[in-house]
Structure 1
């Protein structure tokens, strides 16, 4: 039974209409979170410890891994508590912090994936000039832009959302504090907030996705011009992991933020949101490690060094 007496915060309904499903989701979310922690920490440590991975591609990848660690940690512990027991409440402060971090890091990931697509474009289409174009200073500048844009987006959108007059029941039909769910909870006119959400979705989702597709269109043309099959496989191999991550991430984001307004779409969007928030951060390390020979070699080198040091 959900406690509906609390007026100080909100009630995250989540999947409470399916009590049997909640216990299953608890196990799935916990396993995904542990996989996210282990997998992304592994990539960060490997990128730092192995000198051969001190390249722009792995610099961006380690930033993505760090982002995913922060992203999931901002809401998964609260979600696990809500899934396990009858108490679904979250304080207003907790909801505000969750919304701010979720918006900021979600936006940062959109921009960072675009930056990574640009890196792959230069690597495949301008290989002779790659070191000149993607130099360390530019890498830091691009990553800084991604993080700053995420912060700006959160600063702009969080206050107007939290200032909305919410309905007395204060029940959020979601598993975390998100802008669309909080807008639906409001009992006042939300036209301004909906316009703001639509504009930000176009700028921060549609535009980056369009740039990524343009980059991969150019990459595909460049790969097709390579005469040897081995050369084509190698060129495609440098991009396939990122392309798969982009596909998983943006398909779920579009399903959550660009869905039509009807109860069925909102219920379906809740499951897409769960995959976007919990599934993709846990799958990213698997995609990059299983499909990336360099990371596998780096791991073997690290193990070899450990064995050598024990022998010495």
Structure 2
């Protein structure tokens, strides 16, 4: 009989990753959870999946509280660690949306317990009772936390979700505009109030604060392309079309958020410590 931990590993990794925004930390949480699972009398566990989710949630909450202190000292903007995913992930629209860089960035604005409740309820559709056991709260409290978290996320996410085909089209237009290095072509693909967020972690050069406005962002990108030898390659990141960008020896990933057919946010991740998992697609599940 296959160990339930192995059966549900992809689900458990997805829970931990959505709570932490870091694949490396999610793997650490799974390792800690496995050790605890190995110590229990599994014959006494009636619902292994629920039990394992509970263990992973508790470990992720502990890690999240530790990370919150560490991220306060992070140099520049903190963005989630990107995951290489197969295009098939996009078939599960809710899963793809929940692991998108844009959504994970919004989840960073929640407190640890709010984030756990939101992920378990809205993404994995767990009953309030199970979430209560996982978070150490009462079911009534969990309902209230879930309501607050939903409202918080709804106020910060795009108003209208775009199809993956539309996202792919816009990303391709963005790449073509970058290759021309022409400000006007970049302006045509970006929203007037576009925001560029870069994450270099203090390890490599990157803007330490978000850059606002299409004119400023377009001129910055056009100048960067004109003075550097830049190459780009498409790939799927976090369930959506994106691309890898190489500037000399330095590389990074670029993901975008789209509203009304225009790019509203650009996420450029160039911290090399966050770019170590781009050779093999992550196995996600819910």
TM-score under structure 2 length normalisation = 0.31
Specify the structure having the higher radius of gyration (Cα).
Answer: 1
Task: Give the TM-score of the pair, scaled to structure 1.
Answer: 0.29
More helix by share: 1
